[in-house]
Amino acid sequence: MRKLLLYTFSVFTACFMACSKKELVSHYERPDWLKGNSWEVLEDRGQFTLFLQAVERAGFKEILDGKTIATIFAPSDEAFQKYLTENNWSSVGQVPLKELKKLVGYHLIYYAYSKDMLENYQPNGSEARETNRAGLYYKHRTRSSDSISLEMDPIGGRQRKVFNKDRFLPVLSQTHFQTKGIDAAGNYEYFFGSGTWKGSNGFNVGNAGVTEYAIPTDNGYIYIVDEVLKPLKTLHATLEEYPDYQDFLKIYDRYLTYTYDEETSLDYGMAGDSLFSVSHGSLPPIASEWTTYGLPDAVAYFDLAGLAYRGFNVFAPNNQALKGFFDTYMAAHYQSLDQVDMLPLLLLMYNHVYTGNVVFPSEIGKNPDIKATFGTPIVFDPNTDVQQKAIASNGAFYGLDKVLVPDMFNSVTGAAFRNPKYRMFMYMLFKSGLYQTLVSKEIDFTLFIPSDEVLQDTYIGDSQLFWTEGNPRVFGDEQILVENSEGVLVPLSENQMENFISDHIVYDRISSLQEKKVYRTRNPYSYIYVADGKVYSTSTYNSQKDIAVSNLAGDWYNGISLDTEIAMGGEIRTIKSTLIGAESPINVLYPYAEFSKLLARAGLMEAGNSLSFLFGNRFLLFAPDNETVLQGLSNGTIPTEKNELAAYLKAYFVSVPDNSLSDYPFPGFGVQGTWDTALRTGVGEYRQISLADRGTSLELMDKDGTVLPIISDFPQVFSDGAVYRINKLLKR
């Protein structure tokens, strides 16, 4: 019985194992609906022998063989043979291996994409579809790249090994053009030639049409294309092929920068290798295959949206056009384009590049988003102004026969950007951002421009201004410096530059220096005075020292520019501190020395606490002159008791912020009204005075309506207020 049981159990186990094995084999058998991997599908079709030979020789067979998912763009034998013949190769074996790898890799893109996905790729997934960008995520990463290249770094003076990333392949769909509201055939064929658009029911891939879409395979999709895909170059490499645009490229390369790439060096470099990436400073990096630097704390290829959507677009003037620009704008001050300062050339380059989606001709002048870096619309005629054109792996190239001149060369800033005599002021305009304000076509300006010689004899605060060139090959290495409290030279801040430049900007065209008039500068409470052919800044008017200015000739479309022998500026002195020494005949407030004595007698000018009743506010002082004060003391109009005197004197002061004044009163400014003085008369109540603007003069009125004429032409303005001269006293 025991033997029988053992025998029975053995037979049962064997049968069970046999059945299980059969089920396992059945489970892993190839289902009938699978088509085979990409290699097998193409091989079975029998029309892709040359492409498959190229794939195998280039070392990409395992990708088609199912080692990874991929999308394959496969040219037929007819298309591939045509490509070989055009390049004088009789067989795949004659194609240089390096070129073959680049070529075949361009037909293989990462990941598997259905037709719908390529027509309207959405990098953030179906749950975050962007209908306003349907089809605009237009390029995809391929397995084609150039080998590591050796390039000379002009700044470091050494050769650098540059790692070239995978190039991208544009897939231009009907949806792309529909989203932009432009004709697909006309815009595609503008670059690729007549009759090349085949994508009305889908898309074109680079230079090729698609004859069969989305053939499913075990490891992705195959698309049959009617041309071999020609690997596109970067915009930089594309420009190198056109001799007529070498001057543009030469200027662009003045901003060339090589940056050590630690991550890439570790991943792709040989032992001890240092690999670099190439950029062009603040200009679009047109030598880079990739159009994004990646997301924060992630490698660049994680930023699928940036890689697929963003394109660099170059609208390059040819050599002859650049020569014409130089002759018109720069030849009076430079011998050649090579000598022109890097800043004006940078602005010139800014006006010929656009970073956004790839730009097609029907968008030029019609898409409001296509603007230069500083907001100037990029406008030209794509049919008459363009001599060369190309779609690149990272954008689009338009070769122009004209220069798109930046507005700052023709606005009131023109002299500063054309003439190196005003280089320091030019850099202040740029770094402060005010050069963009001064190109407005809606406002007229007068711009006072001091030369470098003047600026290096100018003080900001307690320090003279200094200029340092730095490395002349590096844009941004130049600096305007001031000495800090410790005697160390430090860069002038952007805020200091803005304040300084603003004292030189008048929001009006000063058409004549013979009139007697005051003009507001961009800085509040800072003015330019013009009288009898003389010009004064706020500070020099107090000392009655006029400033020699001369017209900077030019057809400036929004005003006039004047060379100035000294820098314009606000008064750094205060009324409080100046009144203390008013008894000196050389003091600018000497006409009010007797009023100053009254303030001291009333205890309002105590050291460290002068005019404290104003709480540090800006103020207007309607000050009786010396003769008027002496007469008032003589006839008893002015009190002599200390407290009564202090109260009386406060009635001559008006707090600017407490009366919501945004400007000081000048004849013709329209700043007038009834205001509280600093003399408190009760809880929340103050003695009031009124001021009327009569157009050519100002009149002060006491509480009883008595008129106190303001007898000076203009007030003297200080850093804490303005002083107006009167020859009558307020009532007690």
User: Letter for the amino acid at 112?
Assistant: A
Q: What is the mean pLDDT of residues 703-722?
A: 94
CB proximity list for 362: less than 8 A, separation 6 or greater = 180, 182, 183, 186, 187, 382
Edge-to-edge order in the sheet of strand 353-356: 353-356, 311-317, 395-400, 386-392
Q: Which residue has the tokens 């060096």?
A: 265
Mean pLDDT calculated for residue range 506-519: 93
Using 50, 70 and 90 to split pLDDT, how confident is the model at 24? very low
Residue 196 CB contacts under 8 Å (≥ 6 apart), including other chains: 188, 189, 204, 207, 209
- Burial code of 602-616, b = ≥16 C-beta within 10 A, e = fewer? bebbeeeebbebbee
Q: Which two tokens stand for residue 465?
A: 């201004």
pLDDT at 610: 93
Measured distance CA(268)–CA(582) in Å, rounded: 76
Which helix (DSSP H) or strand (DSSP E) does residue 172 occupy?
strand 168-173
- The amino acid at residue 382 is P
Residue with tokens 């907001």: 375
- The tokens for 132 are 């306003």
Task: Name the DSSP letter for residue 63.
Answer: I
| pLDDT for residue 581 | 94
Query: What is the rounded distance in angstroms from the CA atom of residue 721 to the CA atom of residue 574?
Result: 8
- Is the per-residue pLDDT at 603 higher than 90? yes
Q: What is the mean pLDDT of residues 157-176?
A: 95
Q: How far apart are CA 96 and CA 100, in angstroms?
A: 6
Asked if pLDDT for residue 16 goes beyond 50, the answer is no
343 three-class SS: helix
Q: Is 524 within 8 Å of 662 (Cβ atoms)?
A: yes
Task: Indicate the range of 52-66, 251-265, 637-651 predicted with least confidence.
Answer: 251-265
pLDDT digits (tens, 9 = 90+) for 114-153: 999 999 999 988 778 899 999 999 999 999 999 889 999 9
**Cα gap 387→446, rounded to integer Å:** 40
Length of the chain: 732
To the nearest whole number, what is the mean pLDDT of the chain?
93
Q: What does the pLDDT read at residue 301? A: 74
Is residue 481 within 8 A of residue 489, CB to CB? The reply is: yes
Q: 63, exposed or middle or buried, with CB in 10 Å at 0-12, 13-18, 19+?
A: buried
> Which residues touch 381 (CB under 8 Å, ≥6 apart)?
364
How does residue 29 score in pLDDT terms, banded at 50, 70 and 90? very low
How confident is residue 272, by pLDDT bands cut at 50, 70 and 90? low
Q: In 10 A of CB 179, how many CB atoms? A: 18
Q: How confident is the model at residue 65 (pLDDT cuts 50, 70, 90)?
A: very high
Q: Quick check: 640 and 663 in contact, CB under 8 A?
A: no
pLDDT in the model for residue 14: 44
- In this model, does residue 570 exceed pLDDT 80? yes
Tens of pLDDT, residues 445-460: 999 999 999 999 999 9
Identify the burial level of 631 via C-beta atoms within 10 angstroms of its C-beta, where 0-12 means exposed, 13-18 middle and 19 or more buried.
middle
Task: Look up residue 731 and give its DSSP letter.
Answer: P
Cα Rg, the chain, nearest whole Å: 38
Report CA-CA distances (Å) from 636 to 168, 403, 630, 646, 728.
92, 76, 10, 15, 14
All residues at 6 or more sequence positions from 562 whose CB lies less than 8 Å from its CB, including other chains? 446, 447, 448, 449, 510, 535, 549, 550, 551, 552
What is the reported pLDDT for 41? 98
Least confident among 284-298, 475-489, 558-572: 284-298
Query: Does residue 104 surpass a pLDDT of 90?
Result: yes
Binned at pLDDT 50, 70 and 90, residue 262 comes out as: confident
In this prediction, residues 158-168 reach a mean pLDDT of 93
User: What does the pLDDT read at residue 34?
Assistant: 57
- Specify the range with the lowest mean pLDDT, choosing from 105-109, 273-277, 562-566: 273-277
The per-residue pLDDT for 297 is 61
Q: How many CB atoms lie within 10 A of CB 220?
A: 25
Paired tokens of 582: 């008013």
Q: Give residue-wise pLDDT tens across range 610-631.
A: 999 999 999 999 999 999 999 9
216-234 confidence digits (pLDDT tens): 999 999 999 999 999 999 9
Supply the pLDDT for residue 15: 42
Look up the pTM and report it: 0.88
What share of the chain has pLDDT > 90, as a percent? 87
Q: Is the pLDDT of residue 6 over 50?
A: no
Query: Quick check: 703 pLDDT over 80?
Result: yes
